[in-house]
Chain A
Amino acid sequence: MQAYIVRRVLALVPTLIFASLIVFVTVRLIPGDVIDLMLSTNDIGADRKSREQLEAALGFDRPMVSQYFRWIGAFVLDGSLGQSLWQSTPVMEDILHRLPITFELGVYALVVALLVGIPIGVYSAVAQDTVGDYVARSFAILALALPSFWVGTLVMVFPAIWWGWSPEVKLIPFSEDPLRHIGQMTIPALILGKAFSAVVMRLTRTMMLEVMRQDYIRTALAKGLAPRTTILRHALRNALIPVVTLVGLQAPVLVGGAVILEQIFVLPGMGQLLLEAVSQRDYPVITGVFLIVGLAVVFINLLVDLSYGLLDPKVRYR
């Protein structure tokens, strides 16, 4: 198993190199570059000389290839991702500062999605074609169909109009007041996990229906096991294998959703950092965020692959 992990991690290297190349190049293809922005905001006369000075100071006068290697070299050698063009703060520091919030939001949303989606999916399969099943499935479609940015905006706007209540704008750190912190994260996590829970529910339902038809379920019933034990002990475990795959596939979607929800709920996470950086064309920050997100997604999928072994004894890591 250790050898398997080592090999998997080594196999990540080309993936990440490729990803970093794409990120590095495409960011620089966004129309309007950082020099223009800086010159206009600093109100410096946009003459040729100051532009060239600025380019040289920021290192943009070098060929793209050499820029790339300087950036990736710094990352590989000392884990640095360069400095923000605007704030001159180390990008890695900014990211590490904001990563926990995004991570927390994502994990919270994932937990919500699984806690809601799996039991309802199981119920829906067991009560196939009953009223309860239809209600559950309708809610799942609804949860999928309502975009989270819209729901998020509603949650921000309407309580404020009706009751004068709105979510707190300043995030209370967990260390200061854990309960209020979790309370603050709950609404964004629910909204972020909503669509995913619908997908989990649908997949769990489908897989349960499939598994419940298997011969070994009949064997379990023939032993005299109660339906409850049969479902929990014999069916669920086998039905969950594809759900675990789904978690890996949905991880980037959760990150994408987090970017938007952080903006709506003013959570100082990676999403906010990224949006600011994009609007300011802060290349090192953008590429840094993408690289870290890419790394995270890739590692989540490694974890997913490893967790198959817990569910399916046939999986051996060689």
Chain B
Amino acid sequence: MTGARLLSVKGLSTEFRTDRGTVRAVDDVSFDLAAGETLAIVGESGSGKSVTALSVLRLIPTPPGRISSGEVLFEGRDLLKLDEREIRAIRGNRIAMIFQEPMSSLNPSLTVGLQIAEPVQLHRKAPWAAALDKAGELLERVRLPDARSRLSSYPHQFSGGMRQRAMIAMALACQPQLIIADEPTTALDVTVQAQILALLKELTRAANSALILITHDLGVVARYADRVCVMYGGRVAEMGPAREIYAHPRHPYTIGLMASVPRLDQEAGSRLVPIEGQPPDLSRLPPGCAFQPRCRFATERCRVERPPLVSTGPDHLSACHHHDRLGA
């Protein structure tokens, strides 16, 4: 991590009450983020990455969800201790979010212009006319063709890529310190995905905003992230600089993830290796390592003793008993 610390998540746990008992979707997760930095949180669905992101802004639906412990220090203040009014002043203003489904994340019955102008009007106390003007400017900045005339359009008149551009415009509206993008391109066509990510990266860099990019796509991570946090079963499996993790993965799950992603530099005809088995059932995690049932390096120790997150190199952490036998 370089530069001043912007966000520091410490020991965050989020639980959900379900029919089958309490499920800990996020279990003792800690990470830091510097101003202007891009952190990728990677993992399968159910790994807790989205819940982690939502917990930062306290957007977990309560009930059934509940942040049971931890701290989320943002610019020195613990977001979990703020009252409702104070956290609302942060949301959309200092920290903005971009969601996965551009189809359903915009309100179908309100104009795109209104929805982008809303945070400007709210946080900057701007009159509607000025806020709408700003919304037009924002749409131009996300390079929506014919931006100004699109203000009065409704979301259903937009394509998926255009909607995600509108979401990015909305997130940028108040020049937040931090943007959390929860799988921003998963629902989009592959060709559009690259455009949107490049745009997101470019605009956050221009605004010097930090970015938390939540994804299951390691290809995305390689191109856009400074640091990577790999999550599995609600816990951090491995964390470190993106380049370092690519070169020297220190967790079998990370290794498995990389082997299951197609790469252009692979030999033609070489096979992708899927990770065997199913993602873990969070209500019935094994006592030891959560990944152990799917792990080809697993030993008896992995079955009984939960591996702590330990340093394996400069700024590189891994939660594996056998991290020193891996990679190298």
Q: A residues near B, CB below 8 A? A: 214-216, 218-226, 233-234, 237-238, 311-314
Pair A237/B105 contact, Cβ less than 8 Å:
no
Give the chain A neighbours of B111 by CB distance below 8 A: 313
Q: Please give me the residue from chain B that is nearest to A233 by CB atom.
A: B110
| B55 contacts partner chain A, Cβ-Cβ < 8 Å | no
Report if A234-B107 is in contact (Cβ < 8 Å); known contacts: A221-B59, A222-B97, A224-B119: yes
Q: B residues near A, CB below 8 A? A: 57, 59, 88-93, 96-97, 99, 101, 104-111, 115, 118-119, 122-123, 154, 156, 167, 170
State A237–B109 Cα separation when bound (angstroms).
7
Provide the main secondary structure of the chain B interface.
mixed
Which among B99, B107, B109 is the interface contact of A311 at CB below 8 angstroms?
A: B109
Closest CB of chain B to A281's CB: distance in Å? 51
Which among B93, B106, B109, B156 is the interface contact of A219 at CB below 8 angstroms?
A: B106
Q: Please give me the residue from chain A that is nearest to B88 by CB atom.
A: A224
Pair A222/B96 contact, Cβ less than 8 Å:
yes
Which among B104, B115, B119, B123 is the interface contact of A215 at CB below 8 angstroms?
A: B104
Provide the main secondary structure of the chain A interface.
helix
Give the chain B neighbours of A221 by CB distance below 8 A: 59, 91
Which among B57, B97, B108, B118 is the interface contact of A225 at CB below 8 angstroms?
A: B118
Which among B59, B89, B105, B122 is the interface contact of A216 at CB below 8 angstroms?
A: B105
State A110–B105 Cα separation when bound (angstroms).
34
Pair B59/A226 contact, Cβ less than 8 Å:
no
Give the chain A neighbours of B108 by CB distance below 8 A: 216, 238, 312-314
Pair A224/B89 contact, Cβ less than 8 Å:
yes
State A311–B109 Cα separation when bound (angstroms).
7
State A295–B108 Cα separation when bound (angstroms).
34
Which among A219, A224, A233, A313 is the interface contact of B99 at CB below 8 angstroms?
A: A219
Give the chain B neighbours of A218 by CB distance below 8 A: 59, 99, 105
Pair B119/A223 contact, Cβ less than 8 Å:
yes
Report if A216-B107 is in contact (Cβ < 8 Å); known contacts: A224-B122, A224-B123: yes
State A151–B286 Cα separation when bound (angstroms).
63
Give the chain A neighbours of B119 by CB distance below 8 A: 223-224
State A4–B218 Cα separation when bound (angstroms).
52
A-B contact pairs, 10 of them (CB 8 A): A219-B99, A219-B106, A220-B118, A222-B59, A223-B92, A223-B96, A223-B170, A226-B88, A238-B107, A314-B108
Closest CB of chain B to A318's CB: distance in Å? 15
Pair A216/B93 contact, Cβ less than 8 Å:
no
Query: Which residue, of B99, B106, B109, B122, has the highest number of chain A Cβ atoms within 10 A?
Result: B109
State A234–B105 Cα separation when bound (angstroms).
12
Contacts A223-B91, A224-B89 aside, 5 further interface pairs with beta carbons under 8 A come to A216-B106, A219-B170, A223-B119, A224-B92, A224-B93
State A215–B155 Cα separation when bound (angstroms).
13
Give the chain B neighbours of A215 by CB distance below 8 A: 99, 101, 104-105
Pair A219/B105 contact, Cβ less than 8 Å:
yes
Report if A313-B89 is in contact (Cβ < 8 Å); known contacts: A221-B59, A223-B170: no
Give the chain A neighbours of B101 by CB distance below 8 A: 215
Q: Please give me the residue from chain B that is nearest to A238 by CB atom.
A: B109
Give the chain A neighbours of B167 by CB distance below 8 A: 219
Closest CB of chain A to B105's CB: distance in Å? 4
State A311–B107 Cα separation when bound (angstroms).
12
State A228–B91 Cα separation when bound (angstroms).
16
Give the chain B neighbours of A224 by CB distance below 8 A: 88-93, 119, 122-123
Query: Which residue, of A221, A222, A313, has the highest number of chain B Cβ atoms within 10 A?
Result: A222
Which among A223, A238, A311, A313 is the interface contact of B118 at CB below 8 angstroms?
A: A223
State A219–B106 Cα separation when bound (angstroms).
7
Give the chain A neighbours of B96 by CB distance below 8 A: 222-223
